[in-house]
Structure 1
Amino acid sequence: MSKRGWMVRAERGGRLYDLFKDRSLVAIGLGEIGDLSRLPSRDKIAAAVVQSRPDWKAQAVAMSTGQLHRFRSEMKIGDVVVTYDPGRRIYLVGEIAGDYGFDPAVDPEDPHVRPVRWHREISRDLLSAASRNSLGSISALFALGKDVLDDIERALTSERPLPPPAAAESAVVEEDVFQDIQAKALEFIKDRIAALSWSDMQELVAGLLRALGYKTRVSPTGPDQGKDIVASPDGFGFEPPRIVVEVKHRQGAIGAQAIRSFLGGRHPQDKGLYVSTGGFTRDARYEADRASIPLSLMTGDDLVTAIIEQYEKLDLKTQQLVPLKKVYWPA
């Protein structure tokens, strides 16, 4: 296929799939901003989105603005268009047949419409694993790459799935998608932790230590003589091991002098844990390695890993600081 192509989601669960098919159109939402024909530029659309959704973050505004602009101005008559029914695992393939229009009567939630000449439905099983992955984005509207368009054309023509070697490809693609999702999830969790206040960060670390079987005492706000948390089996620090914890919640890396200051107030039987969301310099790590007591340095990445590993053991108060939900993936 030499034409451009687009995926237009039929809303959550394919709610509008039959409407798209029966009415020969595709539609997208954010109808409260009105007819896009009166908004001649991308900036005008963005301003309308901000006015309509003042609570949205800049990224959400930019995403919706881009989709509305593409739907109104970039989609052309003759472009390939695809939508999906997840219940039946079927793609509907056609081409744009007319210009943009605004019609709330089509669907009150999705009044921005483009007429479509639908050609045929194809099963998801006929497409390659790479194409299924590309078409799996949850965005309401996005452009399709040439490889996906070529694969759709092949499926429409042959009405047969790819030969057996695609099974190996499928496994590779699934693993790539899993790794991508996992990496993004870790970054989002780090974003949530980075947004915590210093006192909440202190409570998060204390909660992690409790999940590991220790009782904790958290220092009140103010001078703490180099300790924010004391963890021990008995909660008072009488029964070993006595773990003294310093928590630094900032962007800058901790240097060697801070490590020396922390070590200066420790007892010979103490064990140390220094948590820094800004990381540590090389010299700081050198000081930790040569410390007279066992000292562990925990970065933001280390903290996220520990939180994920111990999440189900965290008490409810600690879980509420960084709420997470489980996602299941094929084994």
Structure 2
Amino acid sequence: MANAAWVIRSGRYGERDEWALENSCSGGGWREVPDLTSASSREDVQRIVDEAYPQDSPGARTNFVAQLWALRGRIEVGDLLAMPMKTTREIALGRVTSPYTFFAENEPGYRHVVGVEWIRQVPRSALKQDLLYTLGSSLTIFSPSRNSAVSRLEHVLATGTDVGSGALAQSPRASAAPTQTSGTDVVDEPESQPDIDVIARDQISSRIGEEFSGHSFATLVAALLRAEGFDAEEAPPGPDGGIDITAGRGLLGLESPKLIVQVKTPQIGSDVVSQLNGLVHTHGADYGLLVTWAGLTKPARDAVKHQRFRVKVWESEDVVEAVLRNYEKLPEKITERLPLRRVWMLKE
């Protein structure tokens, strides 16, 4: 069991997602901050941050210090590390293999890191709503501790599934109150700064996963394609030869782009990508669309990259985006099972 669990985000838009995976590390950001290797205390980091961000408010600088000190002085080798990925809507999990390092040769924004052995990537839909909420802070670096986060993330790392807080005995660390180095060390209180947009999307994702399993997931996808302007024909339940939906433009659905669609709730392997590519060619379609609720294996993701002009993928976040984009156009039988309302709020 790791001593602690940490979350490190990889940029507002996920710009460091692939970089972190390819370079076996996590961190970055804080372009103006110099090397922290010589900083042996939180007070040392405070002085460096005050010099780097004199124009920011004391509260903002305190926030930066708490996160940077976690990266420099609190994250230890062996700790579990989670990286929510904006680009794929997955959560990468691994172990810290080396402490804070400053890569002066890297461009700004890619210099402050810890080494990580990445072990598993899971879709957000693999985590239950309360754990997603715990991970839903707007902070870049924090230590999730509520809802048995440590023991549950350990289980996800080992098995790829989240069994919930009630199914796992809480470790002393997981059940204890958050540990803080000072009253202003906010990195152990992520729930105080939730990312409302992420939380709302996770709730919608959870409802879709509950309401549209099995063949009904294909029904939802067909409805989304019709809302996008396609004439979509859904295969009946049962053996389908690898084709769940055919779709095309025009009055009869015979005009381009013509799609062959496979819809899968489990994770997709590279064999499915190969099968779909063959079906596109055999049936004279223009493109293949893979819709997966549980994501793709790494071999499947690599296979898609080599077929990027032939095969498109919709993962769970793409389905949620399509629902939000076309909600008013969806049939009542869909919206009754997925009741949503639009909310406007001030942007912070």
Q: Given the two structures, how large is their TM-score scaled by the length of structure 2? A: 0.45
Of Structure 1 and Structure 2, the greater helix share is in 1
